[in-house]
Amino acid sequence: MFVTLLQISIHQAEGKEILFYAFVGLLLFLAIIRQLFPKYFNDLFRLFFRTTLKQRHLSEQLSQTPLPSFLLNLFFFFSAGLYLCFWLERVKLNPFDSFWWLLLYVIAVLIIAYLVKFISLQFMGWLFKARDAAASYTFTVFTINKMAGLFLWPLLVLMAFSTEQVFVVALTLSWVLLGGLLLYRIGLTYRVVRKQIHLSGFHFLLYVAGFEIAPLAVLYKLFLLNFS
């Protein structure tokens, strides 16, 4: 009887041990950032939830601390990469034999896409003499990205290690979350940029269509063409 109970208590491997350790490593990475830069984390959440009237002061402080910002951007790229990989594997669009090769490819595409977007924004700010507006817009975009990476974390754990039914629920919640963050980012960036340059709502919608929606459509089409 004792042997039977011992056999029942032993963990049965399901081929996700490496993924589990990867999640533990990412959680440790996030904990180290939180421990080394507690003020940055507090200011980031206060700014995102707009719980203080000193928003401009907080933005300047966050902009002057590039190291935690860079590390949280890396965390976002890994979180977004994992999310897209789970989705691509679910719809059977993984062209690689390994999940990890797919993850490296997706993260590389995300980094290149955001790098191109960053350079384009800086160029447009220089071209139209609106560098402050471009800097404010870029700061807002990456702030929302950082929060998206943090908010996606529990849903990613469910998507990675849960049953099919729970996976569907987590995926649906992630769509609601990301859609809400996108709308919040669009509204917030419009208010931020409008304070610095004269911009009509129509022209801002054109910008959103060209720089927010179009790149997502291009990435989606790229994944379909290369992975289908």
What average pLDDT score do residues 46-55 get? Answer: 68
Is 20 within a domain? no
Is 130 within a domain? yes
Domain limits for position 160: 66-227
Is 12 within a domain? no
**Do residues 82 and 156 lie in contact, with contact meaning Cβ atoms separated by under 8 Å?**
yes
Is 95 within a domain? yes
Is 59 within a domain? no
pLDDT of 61 over the 90 cut = no
What average pLDDT score do residues 22-40 get? Answer: 93
The confidence score (pLDDT) of residue 198 equals 67
Helix, strand or coil, per DSSP, at residue 195: coil
What average pLDDT score do residues 42-68 get? Answer: 76
The confidence score (pLDDT) of residue 13 equals 44
Is 208 within a domain? yes
Least confident of 88-102, 111-125, 126-140, 199-213: 199-213
The domain tally of the chain equals 1
Is 203 within a domain? yes
The confidence score (pLDDT) of residue 12 equals 46
- pTM of the model as a whole: 0.81
Is 52 within a domain? no
The confidence score (pLDDT) of residue 21 equals 93
3-state DSSP helix/strand/coil % of the chain, to nearest 5: 85, 0, 15
Q: What b-and-e string marks burial along 73-104, b requiring 16 or more CB atoms within 10 Å of the CB?
A: bbbbbbbbbbbbbbebeeeeebeeeebeebbe
Give 76-107 pLDDT, tens digit per residue.
Answer: 999 999 999 998 888 887 778 889 999 999 99
